Structure 1
């Protein structure tokens, strides 16, 4: 049985900071509805979702993740929803397209056997328009016992007007000022931590007043002090959000943008600026870093397959808690489009088993495996800072060094060659081509 490196014992560090095991986490980020080939939208309106234990399709892939060097599964939405998983209908029920509680429990057990941590995706800003409690509240009116769960304008000229998320009529916002909402979210988070999850990605955390998270998370930590929470925050003052909300980390979109954009435009001045800000973020928290996820155009489509290893080299040599989006480790391509179904290309089905993968992704897979191995051999990189040594439009050399000054590596990237080298002094640890 392949097993991930043992993580250290649980232990908080700092005042409310993440637990110690997170410093060694490298995530495989999987969007389960897409990965398992579940139907995202019903073929005909009103069709019931096809029930199938598709979560079990992940089981043969856990050893693949471990062999890649990863030790955590960052799992997209698994709860009952109307379509894409972010329009939740029941927070306490596994989506029937993925299976049921037994399928989830077996996935948790399989992760535990391999030393893989498990983080779930919680959509607590909004629910699907067809959420049964919302439907009942709208029928019963403002005196409904559950009316305070949702943000609804009751005296609109055309009747009740639920607040919606970023103009999406199918996504109705919860009322985060309500004590009931805080209690419900706290209960849901605890429920799945009790069932084996190690933490949560808080979807659209930026859309929720930080004071809401500051009420919920301390209550959760009373019973689950080892849990880790990362908020989806796209832009703004990351450290201020972390401090005011109490989350452990946020998604580092600034660095994501700078990595691919610098490679595409041969403008490493942008990466240099982002790394400087990244150093500042590390003074407050350890960012969750990535070069691909379920919401953005695939890395290989952005930068071209030949530059993917350069982007991954940055991801795995700078401070942060990195994640690898499934398929990026095989050089998958896909364009995100702003239309219905516009995410489908970046959320594709995977084969039944790793042996069924095409050999076309072998070189990209090898680069990921080697760089993940490099990071695992240098665990101090999680909180390391960077210093730029040489900089032109198309070339950058930066030094990454441990906080205690005892370790350092030098990274050289050339966007036009393209090429990349990681050195420890004069010794070359990794190189492409």
Structure 2
């Protein structure tokens, strides 16, 4: 199996387009009534974030160390989250239309920033033109077999128990008619959509609920079509549980790595976790030994190519924000983020986490990015910038092999090794200073330099009590790290 090399070195930023930035450059927005920016996200409606707003913030994203964007759906839709697609060939006019996507791709690519789009191919919407055609023409429509219809006439708005909707719909929601993906015409349509936007210039697809399309040959052909158009295109699936069958080289390059998210928040946020569950995720306090066991199991699930291409995240638009789950402990968030930056797989920052956004799950986690910098946690933002800098600076943190060195109480230590380079990483998630002893063979090099903190004038970890640089003693001697609380 081979995966796109750029992904292994990327730092992603996930954007919910309606809530990231409003540019004032979308003419169509002058003709409609938008919600005020910052309206509570539990209210329906559109707040007017658009693709030009993303372009206007590329300097900010560049400074944050972002090299790839993952955008939630951008195609024409009657929902602010745009998972209710009604035209797969048109970017939503409220986002600026196709011209705005062209401008975003050109501007991002000029900065070596990739752009991955959300592909929603399991279901469409009631406004999707073939479904509307069936609604108007009944069984006489040539698109009748694009959907799984039980009887006639269609009931797309019925909500009564005696006469519910009468067609297959995602999660039984009548607004989301499911495609009949066993129909070759439907398959051809979806494959053409996938190829069209790759040819337009996007750098990959994040596939929404792909397991709902239980058709491995379709996904194999999907991969063939996309990779033929661009061999370096990234295919990542939204599957919340362990799913090795999807990463055998014939379907996806990677998955959204939710199984890694659980132990990370449960360990670093152990003392302040909220009572929260989502899908297959549960958050219960973990000690170091259980944490390492869980993380090691995730790292062993897939071959190394796939592991280095995983989309690693702490939260997303579908769940509560990481800081909220960890009881608004910003220090725990910093540790969890830094740990993500030292793991194989592409780290992904959910928009606004870096300035302190904290909230319960959908829809609250989809709040507007604060326009006023006075509302930002600027210390946290500075930390995120340093954390991404660390990852970009040392390739060993991106693709080096992982070997665990210690797991005891609230401290963990591991080594990343790549050729003749190594990094020794130590975390103390406890509330008191820890004297972390490493075995004589824990460090292979004869000398190490302190890599974190990045600033020489900051107080940081000490190796054998001596600040950087440090010479490692004879291999018969132990190495110890004096690690301050939550460092």
Q: TM-score, normalised by structure 1?
A: 0.84
Deviations 1:58-83 (A, max 9, x none): 12211111111111111111111121
2:382 is matched with 366
CA distance in 2 between counterparts of 1:372 and 1:234 reads 25
Q: TM-score, normalised by structure 2?
A: 0.75
Q: Deviation digits for residues 288-322 of structure 1, max 9, x if unmatched?
A: 11112111111111222121111011111010022
Shift of 1:379: 2.2
- Of 394, 400, 403, the residue aligned with 1:384 is 400
Query: What is the alpha-carbon distance in structure 1 between the residues aligned to residue 221 and residue 57 of structure 2?
Result: 37
Q: Where does residue 76 of structure 2 map in the other structure?
A: 80
2 CA distance for matches of 1:417 and 1:81?
A: 48
User: Judging changes above 3 Å, is the alpha-carbon distance between structure 1 residues 335 and 51 closer, same or farther for their aligned structure 2 residues?
Assistant: closer
Of 271, 286, 298, the match for 2:291: 271
Q: Pick closer, same or farther for the CA change 1:130–1:377 going to 2, 3 Å.
A: same
2:209 matched to which residue of 1? 204
Superposed structure 1 runs of 4+ greater than 6 Å apart: 49-53, 418-421
- How far did 1:254 drift? 0.4
- Residues 159 and 301 (structure 1), Cα distance of their counterparts in 2 relative to 1, 3 Å cut: closer
Deviations 1:368-395 (A, max 9, x none): 1111111111224333332222213422
List runs of 5+ in structure 1 lacking aligned partners: 1-13, 44-48, 337-341
Partner of 2:259, secondary structure, is helix
Aligned pair 1:227/2:223, yes or no? Answer: no
Bigger-Rg structure (1/2)? 2
Aligned residues: 399
Match of 1:348 among 341, 345, 367: 367
1:359 CA drift (Å): 6.5
Cα separation, partners in 2 of 1:79 and 1:280, compared to 1, 3 Å: same
- What is residue 263 of structure 2 aligned with on the other side? 258
The within-5 A match list for 1:104-183 is 104-154=101-151, 161-183=166-188
Q: Bigger CA drift: 367-376 or 259-268? A: 259-268
Residue in structure 2 matched with residue 300 of structure 1 by the alignment: 323
The corresponding residue for 2:26 is: none
Q: Which stretch shows the higher mean deviation, 148-157 or 17-26?
A: 148-157
Which of residues 45, 48, 63 in structure 1 aligns to 2:59? 63
Residues 159 and 347 of structure 1: CA distance in aligned 2, closer, same or farther (over 3 Å): closer
Closer, same or farther: CA 53–387 of 1 in aligned 2, 3 Å: closer
- Asked whether the 8 Å contact 1:300–1:333 carries over to 2, the reply is yes
Q: Distance in 2 between matches of 1:364 and 1:52?
A: 27
1:242 to partner: Cα distance: 1.8
Contact 2:13 2:349 in 1 (8 A): yes
**Structure 2 matches for 1:29-48, cutoff 5 A?**
29-36=14-21
Unaligned runs of 5+ in 2: 23-28, 40-44, 154-161, 271-284, 437-442, 454-485
Q: Secondary structure at the match of 1:400?
A: strand
